[in-house]
Chain A
Amino acid sequence: MTDYDPIQLEIYKHLFAAVAEEMGTVLRKASYSPNIKERRDYSCALFDTQGRMIAQAAHIPVHLGSMPLSVHAAVEHFSRQELLPGDAILLNDPYQGGTHLPDITLVTPVFLTEGDATPRLFGFSASRAHHADVGAWAPGSMPVAREIYQEGLIIPPVKLFREGDLNQDLFDLILANVRTPQERAGDLWAQVAANQRGSARLIELAQRYGAQAINSAMQQLLSYTERLTRHLLLSLPDGKYSFADCLDDDGVGQQAVPLCVSIIIVGDMASVDFSGSAPQQRGSVNAVYAITLSAVYYVFRSLLGLDVPNNAGCLAPIEVIAPAGSVVNALPPAPVAGGNVETSQRIVDVLLGALAQAYPEKIPAASQGTMNNVIIGGYDAQRQRPFTYYETIGGGTGAHHNGHGAPAVHSHMTNTLNTPVEALEFAYPLRVERQEVRRGSGGAGKWRGGDGMRRDIRLLVDCQVSLLSDRRKFAPYGLDGGSAATVGENVLIRQGEETILPGKTTLELLAGDVLSIRTPGGGGYGKME
């Protein structure tokens, strides 16, 4: 066992977590778009010099495993010698440290100057925010697509700041390629502010406790979380646990997309193997490796319980195998917008399905298994500006061995807030006509799954609409004899007449149309008595 001090461990845990949380507060409050401020679709984290995550504020699980890959990509692209004080690296390329194009990550190397010595690299602060539009052939940058080039502007790791100076040309180029440049600029500035805050706080810690002590605390915290994970794995019975489930389709074809996993637990180690999952698809349901890693991280992080630091130690005893070229580790130029928001949920579903065999009391039935992405864009004649509205909609969560699931809430890989109806109508030419619990959609059982939700939105101008949703064909499963939930439905109501829309589609709708999204419930648990 490594050398550590139980007291220092706990104190530093608080210190680092407080920095990540403070970065999040700055980002949320200083940003522009409802998507960040109201929905809180962002994450902030700190890293050591080797790019290992030390602390992440609890914001969005899908960013968990993927933020470190952004830092790695930044460091790989610019060698350490090229990183200078005042630099900040921007990226969104899913094949170079990103997840899907709307998630833009800013990585700031933190330098420490001691005495007259030249500043030396001390760590990284990073923030990732979901930007409501990054170009693409439809507003919101999550359209049905065949190649990533149709999904928007690709930003490989580039320096947005060089030694403290904004790269204005780059900034202008980015803004010229998005539909709502003012909003993007504001959100990017907020990310800059958040990273600056994180860097300043990390430097303060080093000045207060000494760089050596902070460095060693970082390493101690990584081994601490690793010990906790090993302890957890030891408590699970050794064995091989397999499970398979499907995505409805890839949005281009009609074929189901199977996902398979085998989890092997031996002692205090585990291997998670996704071999047998479908090859990468023509449509956008492809997940890059970072997404798959995030889903695995999320599941084991949840099993660890509350109040454990979010750092790289969690995955250290776990090997993740995702065959290259598959839907869980796509290669360019496959489109990936849905991998982040939909496939990530199904990856969690298969992981939980497998682990339920090892540890039934610790695993809930399937939750809604989709984020129900809705993107509406067009030109707002009254406010004289183009607009892009992005929303994800909650549904039911799975019941568990000791309780019902929750209704109308986000589950697993996301936890974004809804846009208040009044905020939405102030901002966009849309009117919400109904927002209610979809009663009876949760799976039956001794414990009922949570109900889904219904949100009806009337368009007041002609709009282009993208829907990216799943669990419209294959229902969220129940466990231990509990029933599956009701699948979701996307419905167009035009002059009172209802038409079912596909789960994944991009289409032109008319002023006066009502888009009605009805989300899946969660699975039931246990036989009804």
Chain B
Amino acid sequence: MSVSISPLRIGVDIGGTFTDFVIYDPGRGTLETFKLLSTPSQPAQAVLLGLNQIVDQYHGEVQEGRQLPAITLVHGSTVATNALLERKGARTALVTTRGFRDVLQIGRQNRPSLYDWFSDPLPPLVPEELRFEVDERVAHSGAVIQALQVDELEVLVARLQAEKTNSVAVCLLFSFLNPQHEQLIAKRLAAAGLPVSLSSEIIPEYREYERTSTTVINAYVSPVLGDYLSQLEHDLVEHATAIRLQVMQSNGGIIHPGEARRKGVHCILSGPAGGVIGCQYAACAALSAAQESNGDTAGSTLRLLTFDMGGTSTDVSLIDGQPQVTSEALVGGYPIRIPLLDIHTIGAGGGSIARLDAGGALRVGPHSAGADPGPACYGRGNLPTVTDANLALGRLDSQAFLGGKMPLDVERALEALATLGMDAIQAALGIVQVANAHMERALRVISVERGHDPRRFTLLSFGGAGGLHAADLARSLGMKQVLAPPLASTLSAFGMLAANVVKDTIQTVMLSAKTPLAEIEARLLPLEEQLRQEVLAEGIPAASVLVERFLDLRYQGQSYELTAPFSVQVLDDFHQLHSQIYGYSRPEEAVEIVNLRLRVTGLVTPPPLPSQPWQGSDPSAACLGQRLVHFAAGALPALFYQGELLLPGNQIAGPAVILRSDTTLLLAPQDQAQVDRFGNLWIQVGK
């Protein structure tokens, strides 16, 4: 009597404060969200708790004879990140070529801060006594100069066991050209029951320090992530339904737990990656709705700057059709060279503290009041923050903060601002301006510095503190519109459901660009086949597999590369790209192919977004009243609206404030906004 029903898809994002759930039921076409407090010491607890709630909800129906649907749980977590940042990873050893055990310690021999004589050097993740050398050497041609003596490995294994290591990273020079020696070591260590991370598998790319660092991080975090996933899987078995677990990676794609266990480094920063994917999906839908209503059917490229301002930090990223990917990330000071979504983080947020320095400049951050004591208006601290400034300016509703759960103390905010020695309102306006200057600089780094003109982009604001700053920031950058989706605070969890299965690989080859295309293709094919099999193994139908091939190219003699799609015109594309980013190209010069790069994507059907029918332009049903709000030009009466009551088609003219349960949005006098059928707020930014 049971009927086959589609599995529930649940996206879970474990953050520092909240664990967010987004549940999509394809059978009913419903999309729901809720939040639970996180359980930092046992992050899985909140996940299980949430899952129980969901299962309970279906339970009543099960008793009526319906079957509990199977569940696919897509999961982004900070487990790997925290293991790295809090240095609570596995006891990891490193095996290197003789003479190079200190590569990890020496790094690139530069100091992180030019003018600081007192900074402590970054401690290597593998201490000196756990770094081992083996006699072997491969040349830059890939030829073996000194062969590895396999019998020497017995001593190595004995020492690794004596040291009670429970994870081993192996990184030998030039192993990306010839992995034989690394593979021999892996075979011997695996036989001894030691988990091994090989640099030639994790990141077969040249530059030994960055490769070693990436491989060591993998060895360091994978066992911790693996234990966590095993525990979670074990606990999930207790539920009376089939649950399939998937894990979000930092490249914006998902993988199954078996692979996450081996390649934990791919899961660092998975939460923020979910946010970017969520933005991309929400904006895609919003854009198509906007085109429909304009009668515009020509698809235009999605160009977004995403802006996620929280209490202590702000994340920004750029989407030009696709989210931008980088392989130059630093996490906790350690380089990671696998492709990650290019998310730039700065230490400025709602809790950033303002002060006057010895030279008389108004500084905002980098110190933050955090959650405790928090901004002065929370009632415990005395130092003025960005949030206090916004409250003093009348831009926050003291009774409606966090949906009214936390009343704010305006008097206390004004007192804190007065300590800056100027008029409290002037100080507040200044703090907001300076905070905006920080954030504008971050947005410029990811756009103008990388050859993109922000004026062609839409600013997508999500995260709790961003809505008060977004329109002003867009104005400063010459951007015409801001998009504020209704899912703002659960966008990361939502992104988990919208994410595809994505596999990236890279292989350093150092070939002349004159190499025949057929030869390059012959090198790409086996890599591609391997990734394709991996994607199929995730349950993706063959028709939904997308393969993208790229080459990393440079003029012979340069030492940074640009990535261009592999095609017959790849050289022309490279010259053009070089010109776009650096202002010149040299088509007459020899070009080198440094790396082959592959991305194989398994397309997942994302949940459809709930939409409502179009209503009139009059927003007055959502209006809460009028109050004074301070702007640079003076105090102006502004209408306040309840965001959840606004309906598709409603139009709002600035000055206005829109209160949502998780964020507040500000329209300056010259700004105009309209709600679309998904509940997105589109702000047209005035001059």
Compute how far the CA of A400 lies from the CA of B448 in the bound complex, rounded to whole angstroms: 41
Question: Is the pair B437, A10 in contact by a Cβ cutoff of 8 Å?
Answer: yes
Compute how far the CA of A7 lies from the CA of B360 in the bound complex, rounded to whole angstroms: 9
Question: Is the pair A406, B111 in contact by a Cβ cutoff of 8 Å?
Answer: yes
Q: A7-B362, A18-B441, A18-B444 are in contact. List 6 more A-B contacts (CB 8 A).
A: A6-B430, A9-B361, A302-B117, A397-B111, A407-B121, A421-B208
Task: Please indicate the chain A residues that have their CB under 8 angstroms from the CB of B581 in the complex.
Answer: 29-30
Question: Is the pair B360, A416 in contact by a Cβ cutoff of 8 Å?
Answer: no
Partner of B105, one of A38, A189, A407, A456: A407
Compute how far the CA of A11 lies from the CA of B103 in the bound complex, rounded to whole angstroms: 40
> B510: CB under 8 A from chain A?
yes
CB-CB contacts below 8 Å: B160-206 with A: 173-174, 206
> A344: CB under 8 A from chain B?
no
Task: Please indicate the chain B residues that have their CB under 8 angstroms from the CB of A403 in the complex.
Answer: 118, 120
> A294: CB under 8 A from chain B?
no
Partner of B118, one of A4, A182, A364, A393: A364
Distance between A416 CB and nearest chain B CB, rounded to angstroms: 7
Compute how far the CA of A31 lies from the CA of B557 in the bound complex, rounded to whole angstroms: 9
Partner of B360, one of A18, A33, A224: A224
Question: Using an 8 Å CB-CB cutoff, how does the interface string of A350-378 with B read, 1 for contact, 0 for none?
Answer: 00000000000001100000000000000
| B interface size (C-beta, 8 A) | 63
Compute how far the CA of A197 lies from the CA of B174 in the bound complex, rounded to whole angstroms: 37
CB-CB contacts below 8 Å: B543-596 with A: 555, 557-560, 578, 581-584, 586, 589
Give 19 pairs: A residue, B residue, CB < 8 Å, sorted on A. A6-B360, A10-B363, A10-B434, A15-B441, A26-B582, A30-B581, A34-B559, A37-B560, A59-B114, A61-B114, A183-B557, A231-B359, A400-B117, A403-B120, A408-B102, A409-B121, A417-B108, A417-B109, A434-B100
Task: Please indicate the chain A residues that have their CB under 8 angstroms from the CB of B209 in the complex.
Answer: 420
Partner of B206, one of A398, A420, A432, A453: A420
Known: A190-B582, A409-B121. A31 touches B558 (CB 8 A): yes
Question: Is the pair A11, B582 in contact by a Cβ cutoff of 8 Å?
Answer: no
Question: Is the pair B555, A32 in contact by a Cβ cutoff of 8 Å?
Answer: yes
> A13: CB under 8 A from chain B?
yes
> A418: CB under 8 A from chain B?
yes
Question: Is the pair B121, A402 in contact by a Cβ cutoff of 8 Å?
Answer: no
Question: Is the pair B584, A193 in contact by a Cβ cutoff of 8 Å?
Answer: yes
Task: Please indicate the chain A residues that have their CB under 8 angstroms from the CB of B333 in the complex.
Answer: none
Distance between A230 CB and nearest chain B CB, rounded to angstroms: 9
Question: Is the pair A227, B362 in contact by a Cβ cutoff of 8 Å?
Answer: no
> A58: CB under 8 A from chain B?
yes
Partner of A418, one of B108, B363, B578: B108
Known: A408-B106, A409-B110. A228 touches B437 (CB 8 A): no
Compute how far the CA of A437 lies from the CA of B429 in the bound complex, rounded to whole angstroms: 52
> A253: CB under 8 A from chain B?
no
Partner of B99, one of A26, A298, A363, A456: A456
Task: Please indicate the chain B residues that have their CB under 8 angstroms from the CB of A363 in the complex.
Answer: 117
Compute how far the CA of A22 lies from the CA of B114 in the bound complex, rounded to whole angstroms: 18
Task: Please indicate the chain B residues that have their CB under 8 angstroms from the CB of A189 in the complex.
Answer: 584, 586
Question: Is the pair A425, B109 in contact by a Cβ cutoff of 8 Å?
Answer: no
Closest Cβ neighbor of A59 among chain B residues: B114
Question: Is the pair B111, A410 in contact by a Cβ cutoff of 8 Å?
Answer: yes
* Interface core residue of B433, B437, B559 (most chain A CB under 10 Å): B559
Question: Is the pair B106, A37 in contact by a Cβ cutoff of 8 Å?
Answer: no
Distance between A487 CB and nearest chain B CB, rounded to angstroms: 19
Distance between A199 CB and nearest chain B CB, rounded to angstroms: 11
Question: Using an 8 Å CB-CB cutoff, how does the interface string of A391-425 with B read, 1 for contact, 0 for none?
Answer: 00110011010110011111100011110111101
Known: A13-B361, A406-B111. A436 touches B118 (CB 8 A): no
Known: A14-B441, A37-B558. A434 touches B121 (CB 8 A): no
Closest Cβ neighbor of B357 among chain A residues: A228
Partner of A435, one of B100, B362, B363, B557: B100
Question: Is the pair A425, B139 in contact by a Cβ cutoff of 8 Å?
Answer: yes
Task: Please indicate the chain A residues that have their CB under 8 angstroms from the CB of B363 in the complex.
Answer: 10
* Interface core residue of B101, B117, B120, B140 (most chain A CB under 10 Å): B117
Task: Please indicate the chain B residues that have their CB under 8 angstroms from the CB of A416 in the complex.
Answer: 110
> B207: CB under 8 A from chain A?
yes
> A494: CB under 8 A from chain B?
no
Task: Please indicate the chain A residues that have their CB under 8 angstroms from the CB of B560 in the complex.
Answer: 28-29, 37
Compute how far the CA of A196 lies from the CA of B584 in the bound complex, rounded to whole angstroms: 11
Known: A31-B558, A410-B109. A6 touches B114 (CB 8 A): no
Question: Is the pair B434, A38 in contact by a Cβ cutoff of 8 Å?
Answer: no
SS class of chain B's interface: helix, strand, loop or mixed? Answer: loop
Distance between A316 CB and nearest chain B CB, rounded to angstroms: 13
Question: Is the pair A301, B115 in contact by a Cβ cutoff of 8 Å?
Answer: yes
A-B complex: 3 closest residue pairs judged by Cβ atoms: A7-B430, A434-B99, A30-B582
Question: Is the pair B102, A422 in contact by a Cβ cutoff of 8 Å?
Answer: no
Closest Cβ neighbor of A352 among chain B residues: B117
> A305: CB under 8 A from chain B?
yes
> B449: CB under 8 A from chain A?
yes
Task: Please indicate the chain A residues that have their CB under 8 angstroms from the CB of B147 in the complex.
Answer: none
Compute how far the CA of A192 lies from the CA of B584 in the bound complex, rounded to whole angstroms: 9
> B518: CB under 8 A from chain A?
no
Distance between B201 CB and nearest chain A CB, rounded to angstroms: 17
Question: Is the pair B120, A409 in contact by a Cβ cutoff of 8 Å?
Answer: no
CB-CB contacts below 8 Å: B582-618 with A: 582-584, 586, 589
Known: A305-B115, A409-B109, A453-B106. A421 touches B173 (CB 8 A): yes
> A225: CB under 8 A from chain B?
yes
Task: Please indicate the chain B residues that have their CB under 8 angstroms from the CB of A411 in the complex.
Answer: 111
> B113: CB under 8 A from chain A?
yes
> B372: CB under 8 A from chain A?
no
Task: Please indicate the chain B residues that have their CB under 8 angstroms from the CB of A422 in the complex.
Answer: 140, 173-174, 206-208
Task: Please indicate the chain B residues that have their CB under 8 angstroms from the CB of A186 in the complex.
Answer: 555, 557-558, 586, 589
Partner of B362, one of A10, A21, A394: A10
Question: Is the pair A227, B360 in contact by a Cβ cutoff of 8 Å?
Answer: yes
Partner of B101, one of A231, A394, A436: A436
Compute how far the CA of A406 lies from the CA of B103 in the bound complex, rounded to whole angstroms: 15
Question: Is the pair B106, A435 in contact by a Cβ cutoff of 8 Å?
Answer: yes
Compute how far the CA of A228 lies from the CA of B358 in the bound complex, rounded to whole angstroms: 6
Distance between A244 CB and nearest chain B CB, rounded to angstroms: 21
Question: Is the pair A423, B206 in contact by a Cβ cutoff of 8 Å?
Answer: yes
Task: Please indicate the chain A residues that have their CB under 8 angstroms from the CB of B441 in the complex.
Answer: 14-15, 18
> A173: CB under 8 A from chain B?
no
> A306: CB under 8 A from chain B?
yes
Question: Is the pair B362, A6 in contact by a Cβ cutoff of 8 Å?
Answer: yes
Partner of B102, one of A192, A302, A437: A437
> B438: CB under 8 A from chain A?
yes
Task: Please indicate the chain A residues that have their CB under 8 angstroms from the CB of B449 in the complex.
Answer: 21-22, 25
Compute how far the CA of A58 lies from the CA of B110 in the bound complex, rounded to whole angstroms: 13
Task: Please indicate the chain B residues that have their CB under 8 angstroms from the CB of A308 in the complex.
Answer: 359
Closest Cβ neighbor of B581 among chain A residues: A29
Compute how far the CA of A488 lies from the CA of B333 in the bound complex, rounded to whole angstroms: 29
Task: Please indicate the chain A residues that have their CB under 8 angstroms from the CB of B111 in the complex.
Answer: 397, 406, 409-411, 415
Distance between B512 CB and nearest chain A CB, rounded to angstroms: 12
Question: Is the pair A433, B99 in contact by a Cβ cutoff of 8 Å?
Answer: yes
Question: Using an 8 Å CB-CB cutoff, how does the interface string of A304-320 with B read, 1 for contact, 0 for none?
Answer: 11101000000000000
> A473: CB under 8 A from chain B?
no
Task: Please indicate the chain A residues that have their CB under 8 angstroms from the CB of B434 in the complex.
Answer: 7, 10-11
> B49: CB under 8 A from chain A?
no
